[in-house]
A = this chain, B = another copy of it.
């Protein structure tokens, strides 16, 4: 009997399956909201009303609630019983934790650079070049995008779908705090050179050195972000900022009372 579909074709089609199956309204709604949150349309702390969003998006409350569950699981939103869904407000402890995670995961991935296939290494370098081109043109928003791609490319060196997803989520969550950086040039500028150094080490397969560079890089970036980031500690309760195990958010802003 003849094999109907070659193995290569089967593998390609298998990769398309997720795309095929992703046509659930709830997931599409979650994707929209995720994008909007990342864009800053919904500020951290703001409440996402079921009725308002449901009407605006033309979906029922049930469907919207399913989408909310997904976003809450990604920590982009938090769910307060009988109060609703709020866009997460990262504390300084959250930012620190996210950088701790990134040092571990990105560092671990960079260390494996020597084992990674060449295309994955070249992809890292490509993101650096994108960033440099954008920086030369003064397009600092694109620089930021390229920087995100750089870090995801670093994570991809681990050749693990789960690590990829973790990177995606961690960077998305951290994006909640990046809106505090009003001057992207000042924030991203100094790292362009360091990105290139790391990319070259990766390209050369010198994983351990790349990891060390990346470790220092992330530590510096964390300090810089924390220096300007004002977490919910500003809201006024002491003993809150650094010592709470897992403060998803502090106290969301109340929406303006309806007339």
A: residues with CB less than 8 A from B are: 7-8, 10-11, 14-15, 18, 20-21, 23-24, 26, 62, 65-66, 69-70, 73-74, 79-81, 97-98, 100-101, 104-105, 107-109, 158-163, 166, 170, 237-240, 243-248
Contacts and interface: CB of A to CB of B under 8 A. Distances in A.
B81 A239 contact: no
Main DSSP-derived SS at the A contact region = helix
A163 B101 contact: yes
18 contacts: A10-B237, A10-B239, A11-B239, A11-B240, A14-B237, A24-B79, A62-B62, A65-B66, A69-B70, A70-B73, A73-B73, A100-B160, A100-B163, A101-B162, A101-B163, A104-B160, A105-B108, A108-B108
A101 B10 CA distance: 27
A118 to B, nearest CB: 17
Q: How many copies, total?
A: 2
Nearest to A93: B161
A244 B158 contact: no
Given A11-B244, A108-B108, A160 B101 contact: yes
Contacts of A100: 158-160, 162-163
Given A7-B239, A8-B239, A18-B248, 16 more contacts: A7-B237, A7-B238, A21-B79, A24-B81, A73-B74, A97-B160, A97-B161, A100-B158, A100-B160, A104-B104, A104-B158, A104-B163, A105-B108, A107-B108, A162-B170, A166-B166
Nearest to A20: B81
Contacts of A166: 166
Contacts of A69: 26, 66, 69-70, 73
Task: List 5 A-B pairs, minimum CB-CB distance, nearest first.
Answer: A7-B239, A104-B108, A161-B246, A11-B239, A73-B73
Nearest to A169: B162
A61 to B, nearest CB: 9
Contacts of A246: 18, 161
Contact of A14 (B7, B74, B109, B247): B247
B240 A14 contact: yes
A243 B104 contact: no
A181 B157 CA distance: 31
Contact of A244 (B14, B74, B239): B14
A8 to B, nearest CB: 7
A97 B44 CA distance: 34
